Structure 1
C-alpha cells in the first residue's frame, strides 16, 4: 500500500435531522478521487471521527470502498480505549478498507512500552496494515518508533505534533530498521501545506490536505508547485491563501473541521453542520472563507 500525491480526508455529510448522509458522502468521495486524490482517509479527524458511532464508522468505510472501487487505497480511523479501537478496527476490515489510521489512546498518557502494547493489542483485532498517528497522548521516542516500524503490520507513521527536530530523529531511527521503501511517513498537522516544505526537508513528503476536501484545484496546484519547486506559486499560495486560512481557523477551536465542512457546502455540496461539541462557522466567517476560496482559485487559474 503505497501513497502518492495529495491525500484526501473527506468530511462526513449529515442530513437535516443530523443523520449520516451516505448519498452525499459518496458524491464527495467520488469528486475527490476524480480530482486526483492519492488516497482516501474516511472517518478521520476531518470526518468527525470523534462524533461517529461504531456503526457509522463501518458504514462510512463501506461507502468509501464501494465508491473508490479499488482506484486508490481507503483507510479509516480507529482509536480511543483498547476495546473500542479493536471493535472499530474489526469493523473497518469488515467494510473492505485497505488499512487503519490508529489514533491515540483516550486521555491517559502512557509510557513508551504502553504505546507499543496499545498498537499490538488493537492490531490483533484486524489483519489490516496500520498507520500510527502520533499526537496528543501518543508521542513516540525514536527507539519506540523504530520498534513499531519493525512490526510487519505497522506500515506508516503520521505526525500531528510538529516538532521537526524530534521528528527528524524519529525518521532517521525508523529508516535504520525499515529502510526507505516500505515504511511511509505523513505530515498530519492541520493545514499541512503550511509545513509541507519543512517536513519534506526531513524526508516526510506525504501530507494530509484538508483543503483538498473543498478546493482540490488549490490543493493539487500547491502540491505540484511543491514537487516542481515552483517558489513563485508556493509563495503566493502560502501568503495569500493558506496563511489567511490558518488565521481564520485559529479564531475558534474546532474550525479545523467545521471550516472545511463549510467550504464543501460553499463549493456546491450541502454537507450539513458539525456535531457537538464543535460549532458551525458564523456567517461572517463563512463569508471570509468564501472570499479566500475565490482568491485561491483565481491564484491557480481555476
Structure 2
C-alpha cells in the first residue's frame, strides 16, 4: 500500500432521516479525487468515527471504495472497544478497503502488553495493512513503538500527539530496527501548520482536514512544500493555516465541526455534526468563510 502526497480524510454526511448519506459522501470523495490526494481515509476522525454505528461504518467504507474505483488506496477507520474494532476490521476487508487506521482503545487503559494484544487481534481479523494512531491515551516510547511495528500487518504510525522529540526518537528506532518501508505521517489537526517540523525529522506524509473543503489550497500547499515553493507555503501557513488553527482552538471539537461547516459553505450539504460535537457559532462561521475565501485567493482559485 503506497501512500503519497496529501492524504484526504472526508467528512461523513448524514441524511435528515438519519444514517450515512451515501450519495453525498460519494460526491464529496469524487470531488476530492480531482485534486490528486494520495489516499482516502474514510470513517476516521474527520469522518466522526466515534459517532458511527457498525452498520453506518460499513456504508461509509463501501461507498468510499466504490467512489474511488481503485484510483487511490482507501483506508478505513477502526478502533475503540475490541469487539467493535474486530467487526469494523472484518467488514472493511470485505468491502474492499486497502488498509486500516487503528484508533486507540477508549476509556480502558492497559499496559504495553495489552496494547500489543489489542493491535495483534485487529490486524489478524482484518488481514489488511494497519496504520496505528498515536494520540490520547496511546503515547509510545521508541521501544514500545518498535514492538508494535514488529506485529505482522502493522505498516505505519500516524502521530496525533505532536511531541517532536519523542516522534524523532521513534522514527530513528523503527528505521533502525524495522527498515525504511515503515510509513509515518503527521496526524495533528490542521497538520499543515506543523508539517515543516515533521519533515525535518523524516516524516513526509500528513493528513489534511483542509482538503475536505479547500482541496485547491491543500494541493497547492503540498506541491509548494515538496517542490520548493517556500514563499507560497510560508504565506499559506501564516495567513491561512495559522488563523484556522486559532479559530479551531476556540471550542472543543471544532477540528471536525469547522471542517464539516466549511464543506457546507462551499455548496455540499453534508448535514450537521453529531453530539457531543456542536455546530460553529455564527461569528465563527463568518470567520471561517472569510478564511476560506482568503485561502482560495492565495492560490488563485475561485471561492
User: TM class, shorter-chain normalised?
Assistant: over 0.9
The alpha carbon displacement at 1:117 in A equals 1.2
Give the ranges of 4+ consecutive aligned residues of structure 1 lying more than 4 Å apart after TM superposition: none
Give RMSD over aligned pairs: 1.0
Per-residue CA deviation, residues 169-211 of structure 1 (Å, 9 max, x unaligned), is 000110012211x210010000000100000000101000000
The alpha carbon displacement at 1:52 in A equals 0.4
Paired residue total: 301
- 2:253 matched to 1:269? no
Q: Tell me if structure 2 keeps the 8 A contact 1:245–1:292.
A: yes
Q: Please report the TM-score for the alignment, with normalisation by the length of structure 1.
A: 0.98
The alpha carbon displacement at 1:254 in A equals 0.6
The aligned runs of 1:147-296 (5 Å cut-off) are 147-180=147-180, 182-296=181-295
The alpha carbon displacement at 1:33 in A equals 1.0
Q: Secondary structure at the match of 1:125?
A: helix
Q: Tell me if structure 2 keeps the 8 A contact 1:15–1:21.
A: yes
Q: Tell me if structure 2 keeps the 8 A contact 1:108–1:137.
A: no
Q: Tell me if structure 1 keeps the 8 A contact 2:20–2:59.
A: no
Q: Secondary structure at the match of 1:47?
A: coil
Q: Secondary structure at the match of 1:124?
A: helix
Moved more, 148-157 or 245-254: 148-157
Q: Tell me if structure 2 keeps the 8 A contact 1:13–1:25.
A: yes
Q: Secondary structure at the match of 1:280?
A: coil
Q: Secondary structure at the match of 1:16?
A: coil
Uncovered stretches (5+) of structure 2, i.e. residues with no partner:
none
Could you tell me how far apart the structure 2 residues matched to 1:230 and 1:34 are?
Answer: 22
Give the structure 2 partner of residue 100 of structure 1.
100
Q: Tell me if structure 1 keeps the 8 A contact 2:75–2:99.
A: yes
Could you tell me how far apart the structure 1 residues matched to 2:67 and 2:14 are?
Answer: 18
